[in-house]
Amino acid sequence: VPTIGVLALQGDVREHRRALESCGASTESVRRPEELERVDAIVIPGGESTTMWRLARTFELLEPLRKRIEQGMPAYGSCAGMIMLADRIADGAEGQETIGGIDMLVRRNAFGRQVDSFEEDIHVTGLDTAYHAVFIRAPWVESVGGAAEVLGRAESGDAAGRIVAVRQGHLLATSFHPELTGDARIHRLFLDMVKGTQ
Protein backbone atom coordinates (compact mmCIF):
# COMPACT_ATOMS: atom_id res chain seq x y z
CA VAL A 1 0.00 0.00 0.00
CA PRO A 2 1.52 3.35 -1.02
CA THR A 3 2.00 5.99 1.68
CA ILE A 4 0.71 9.42 0.74
CA GLY A 5 2.55 12.35 2.30
CA VAL A 6 0.81 15.64 2.98
CA LEU A 7 3.14 18.62 3.00
CA ALA A 8 2.61 19.99 6.51
CA LEU A 9 4.42 23.31 6.48
CA GLN A 10 1.19 25.30 6.53
CA GLY A 11 -2.41 25.05 5.38
CA ASP A 12 -5.25 22.54 5.65
CA VAL A 13 -3.19 19.41 6.24
CA ARG A 14 -5.61 17.57 8.51
CA GLU A 15 -8.51 17.83 6.05
CA HIS A 16 -6.44 16.33 3.22
CA ARG A 17 -5.24 13.47 5.43
CA ARG A 18 -8.83 12.76 6.46
CA ALA A 19 -10.07 12.77 2.85
CA LEU A 20 -7.24 10.46 1.71
CA GLU A 21 -7.79 8.10 4.64
CA SER A 22 -11.53 7.98 3.88
CA CYS A 23 -10.44 6.42 0.55
CA GLY A 24 -8.36 3.78 2.36
CA ALA A 25 -4.96 5.45 1.87
CA SER A 26 -2.30 5.57 4.53
CA THR A 27 -0.93 9.07 5.09
CA GLU A 28 1.98 10.86 6.78
CA SER A 29 2.68 14.51 7.44
CA VAL A 30 5.85 15.73 5.69
CA ARG A 31 7.81 18.54 7.30
CA ARG A 32 11.39 17.30 6.94
CA PRO A 33 13.50 15.88 4.10
CA GLU A 34 13.71 12.48 5.87
CA GLU A 35 9.93 12.32 5.99
CA LEU A 36 9.72 13.11 2.27
CA GLU A 37 12.01 10.16 1.55
CA ARG A 38 9.56 7.78 3.23
CA VAL A 39 6.46 8.65 1.16
CA ASP A 40 5.43 7.45 -2.29
CA ALA A 41 3.43 10.53 -3.29
CA ILE A 42 2.73 14.01 -1.96
CA VAL A 43 -0.30 16.25 -1.53
CA ILE A 44 0.35 19.99 -1.25
CA PRO A 45 -2.55 21.65 0.55
CA GLY A 46 -4.16 25.06 0.22
CA GLY A 47 -2.91 27.85 2.43
CA GLU A 48 -0.68 30.72 1.37
CA SER A 49 1.85 29.98 -1.35
CA THR A 50 4.29 32.74 -0.31
CA THR A 51 4.41 31.37 3.25
CA MET A 52 4.68 27.82 1.99
CA TRP A 53 7.53 28.77 -0.33
CA ARG A 54 9.45 30.51 2.48
CA LEU A 55 8.91 27.62 4.88
CA ALA A 56 9.87 25.07 2.23
CA ARG A 57 13.16 26.93 1.83
CA THR A 58 13.73 27.18 5.57
CA PHE A 59 13.00 23.49 6.10
CA GLU A 60 15.21 22.60 3.10
CA LEU A 61 12.40 20.88 1.28
CA LEU A 62 12.27 22.89 -1.95
CA GLU A 63 15.11 21.09 -3.76
CA PRO A 64 14.21 17.61 -2.44
CA LEU A 65 10.61 18.14 -3.60
CA ARG A 66 11.77 19.26 -7.04
CA LYS A 67 14.06 16.26 -7.31
CA ARG A 68 11.44 13.69 -6.26
CA ILE A 69 8.89 15.18 -8.66
CA GLU A 70 11.43 15.10 -11.50
CA GLN A 71 12.08 11.45 -10.65
CA GLY A 72 8.37 10.71 -11.06
CA MET A 73 6.82 10.96 -7.59
CA PRO A 74 3.10 11.70 -8.03
CA ALA A 75 1.96 15.02 -6.58
CA TYR A 76 -1.39 16.74 -6.15
CA GLY A 77 -1.69 20.43 -5.28
CA SER A 78 -4.88 22.28 -4.34
CA CYS A 79 -5.08 26.08 -4.44
CA ALA A 80 -1.77 27.27 -2.93
CA GLY A 81 -0.56 23.74 -3.76
CA MET A 82 -1.51 24.33 -7.40
CA ILE A 83 0.64 27.47 -7.35
CA MET A 84 3.53 25.43 -5.89
CA LEU A 85 3.32 22.94 -8.79
CA ALA A 86 3.25 25.61 -11.51
CA ASP A 87 6.32 26.21 -13.67
CA ARG A 88 5.35 29.89 -13.94
CA ILE A 89 3.32 32.25 -11.74
CA ALA A 90 1.77 35.69 -12.24
CA ASP A 91 1.18 38.11 -9.36
CA GLY A 92 3.69 36.27 -7.21
CA ALA A 93 5.41 37.97 -4.30
CA GLU A 94 8.87 39.44 -4.90
CA GLY A 95 11.22 36.53 -5.59
CA GLN A 96 8.51 33.90 -5.04
CA GLU A 97 9.63 30.47 -6.21
CA THR A 98 7.64 27.33 -6.86
CA ILE A 99 8.47 23.63 -6.90
CA GLY A 100 7.22 23.47 -10.48
CA GLY A 101 6.56 20.42 -12.62
CA ILE A 102 3.41 21.39 -14.49
CA ASP A 103 3.92 23.38 -17.67
CA MET A 104 1.43 26.14 -16.86
CA LEU A 105 1.15 29.81 -15.93
CA VAL A 106 -0.91 30.27 -12.77
CA ARG A 107 -2.27 33.63 -11.61
CA ARG A 108 -2.55 34.07 -7.85
CA ASN A 109 -5.76 35.49 -6.33
CA ALA A 110 -7.14 35.59 -9.84
CA PHE A 111 -10.87 35.59 -9.18
CA GLY A 112 -10.80 39.11 -7.78
CA ARG A 113 -9.97 40.33 -4.34
CA GLN A 114 -13.48 41.57 -3.59
CA VAL A 115 -14.87 38.07 -4.12
CA ASP A 116 -12.84 36.20 -1.52
CA SER A 117 -14.50 32.87 -2.00
CA PHE A 118 -17.31 31.24 -3.93
CA GLU A 119 -18.63 27.83 -4.84
CA GLU A 120 -19.92 26.35 -8.07
CA ASP A 121 -20.61 23.01 -9.69
CA ILE A 122 -18.12 22.24 -12.43
CA HIS A 123 -17.42 19.35 -14.75
CA VAL A 124 -14.15 17.52 -14.29
CA THR A 125 -12.82 15.07 -16.86
CA GLY A 126 -12.96 11.57 -15.38
CA LEU A 127 -15.88 12.26 -13.01
CA ASP A 128 -19.30 11.26 -14.27
CA THR A 129 -21.31 13.93 -12.45
CA ALA A 130 -20.61 17.58 -11.57
CA TYR A 131 -18.23 18.37 -8.73
CA HIS A 132 -19.08 21.01 -6.13
CA ALA A 133 -15.95 23.16 -6.15
CA VAL A 134 -15.05 25.54 -3.30
CA PHE A 135 -12.73 28.41 -4.26
CA ILE A 136 -10.97 30.49 -1.56
CA ARG A 137 -8.79 33.36 -2.82
CA ALA A 138 -8.07 30.93 -5.58
CA PRO A 139 -5.65 31.04 -8.48
CA TRP A 140 -6.64 30.18 -12.01
CA VAL A 141 -4.51 28.81 -14.81
CA GLU A 142 -3.88 31.39 -17.51
CA SER A 143 -2.34 28.98 -19.96
CA VAL A 144 -0.95 25.46 -20.21
CA GLY A 145 1.83 24.04 -22.34
CA GLY A 146 1.46 21.05 -24.62
CA ALA A 147 2.15 18.37 -22.02
CA ALA A 148 -0.56 19.54 -19.61
CA GLU A 149 -4.15 18.40 -19.95
CA VAL A 150 -7.03 20.67 -18.87
CA LEU A 151 -9.46 18.68 -16.68
CA GLY A 152 -11.88 21.42 -15.65
CA ARG A 153 -12.91 25.03 -16.11
CA ALA A 154 -14.95 27.57 -14.19
CA GLU A 155 -18.46 27.69 -15.63
CA SER A 156 -20.21 30.88 -14.57
CA GLY A 157 -19.79 34.63 -14.35
CA ASP A 158 -16.81 36.61 -15.61
CA ALA A 159 -14.48 33.72 -14.88
CA ALA A 160 -16.37 31.23 -17.07
CA GLY A 161 -13.90 29.24 -19.14
CA ARG A 162 -10.93 29.81 -16.85
CA ILE A 163 -8.91 26.65 -16.24
CA VAL A 164 -9.20 25.32 -12.67
CA ALA A 165 -8.04 21.70 -12.91
CA VAL A 166 -4.98 20.36 -14.74
CA ARG A 167 -3.09 17.12 -15.05
CA GLN A 168 0.35 16.47 -16.47
CA GLY A 169 1.36 12.82 -16.24
CA HIS A 170 1.89 12.06 -12.54
CA LEU A 171 0.98 15.60 -11.45
CA LEU A 172 -2.50 16.93 -10.64
CA ALA A 173 -3.60 20.42 -9.59
CA THR A 174 -6.90 22.11 -8.76
CA SER A 175 -7.73 25.75 -7.94
CA PHE A 176 -10.44 24.53 -5.58
CA HIS A 177 -10.44 22.71 -2.23
CA PRO A 178 -11.82 19.14 -2.46
CA GLU A 179 -10.76 18.46 1.14
CA LEU A 180 -13.54 20.76 2.41
CA THR A 181 -16.63 19.23 0.82
CA GLY A 182 -16.74 15.57 1.84
CA ASP A 183 -16.70 14.51 -1.83
CA ALA A 184 -13.52 12.46 -2.11
CA ARG A 185 -13.60 11.88 -5.87
CA ILE A 186 -10.64 14.19 -6.57
CA HIS A 187 -8.57 12.43 -3.89
CA ARG A 188 -9.62 9.07 -5.36
CA LEU A 189 -8.59 10.25 -8.83
CA PHE A 190 -5.16 11.10 -7.41
CA LEU A 191 -4.89 7.76 -5.59
CA ASP A 192 -5.71 5.99 -8.87
CA MET A 193 -2.88 7.98 -10.50
CA VAL A 194 -0.56 6.88 -7.69
CA LYS A 195 -1.55 3.23 -8.20
CA GLY A 196 -1.04 3.67 -11.93
CA THR A 197 -4.60 2.78 -12.81
CA GLN A 198 -5.46 6.23 -14.22
Residues counted in the chain:
198
The Cα–Cα gap between 53 and 61 comes to 9
Q: Is 48 in the site for ligand GLN (CB under 6 A)?
A: yes
The Cα–Cα gap between 81 and 150 comes to 17
| Cα radius of gyration (the chain) | 15
Query: Is 170 annotated as catalytic?
Result: no
| Residue 167 annotated as part of some ligand binding site | no
| Residue 136 annotated as part of some ligand binding site | yes
- Binding residues among 57-116 for ligand GLN as defined by CB under 6 A: 79-80, 83, 108-109
| Residue 137 annotated as part of some ligand binding site | yes
Query: Is 142 annotated as catalytic?
Result: no
The answer to whether 152 and 130 are in contact (CB under 8 A) is no
Q: Closest CB to ligand GLN among 41 and 136?
A: 136
Instruction: Say if strands 75-78 and 102-107 run parallel, antiparallel, or are unpaired.
Output: unpaired
Query: Is 179 annotated as catalytic?
Result: yes
Q: Closest CB to ligand GLN among 11 and 74?
A: 11
Q: Closest CB to ligand GLN among 46 and 101?
A: 46
